[in-house]
Structure formats: structure tokens, C-alpha cells
Amino acid sequence: MRQRNWRVVIVGIVLIVLAVLFYLFMLSTAPKSNDPVALMRTVGTVSGAIGGLAVVMILVGLIGKKT
């Protein structure tokens, strides 16, 4: 039997929410930037990396460890 690690799952969910909020916030401030295309490219890369890390954390937390 495997025991799920709910703390890791919750942190993963929180990271996904924060990545989406960060992307939406930067989307609203991009028109004021000198180079909005480069800004959104960087923001998308960072948000994607955080989202990927969060998905891995959720999967690892749901798989759990052997007891």
C-alpha cells in the first residue's frame, strides 16, 4: 500500500495557481513595456517552468511512497 503525500500535492496546486496569476498579471502590464513580445516570451517561459514543476510535484505526491 502506498501513502499519498498531500502536502506535496497541495503545494503543487498552489504553484499552478500562482503561475497562472503571475501570467495574467504580466499580461495586463505588457502593453506598458518597451518590448512586450520579449517580456511575454520570458513570462511564458517562467510560468511554464513553474507549471511543469507543479505538475511533477502533484504526480509524485499522488503516487506516494511505500509504507
pTM: 0.87
Look at the block and give the residue holding cell 503545494. 11
Q: What is the pLDDT along the chain (67 residues), one digit of tens a residue?
A: 889 999 999 999 999 999 999 999 999 999 999 999 999 999 999 999 999 999 999 999 999 888 8
**Cβ–Cβ under 8 Å, residues 61 and 13:** no
By the 8 A CB rule, do 40 and 31 touch?
no
Alpha helices in the chain (DSSP H): 6-29, 36-63
**Per-domain residue ranges for the chain?**
2-66
Alpha carbon separation from 17 to 9, 14, 24, 29, 47 (Å, rounded): 13, 5, 11, 19, 10
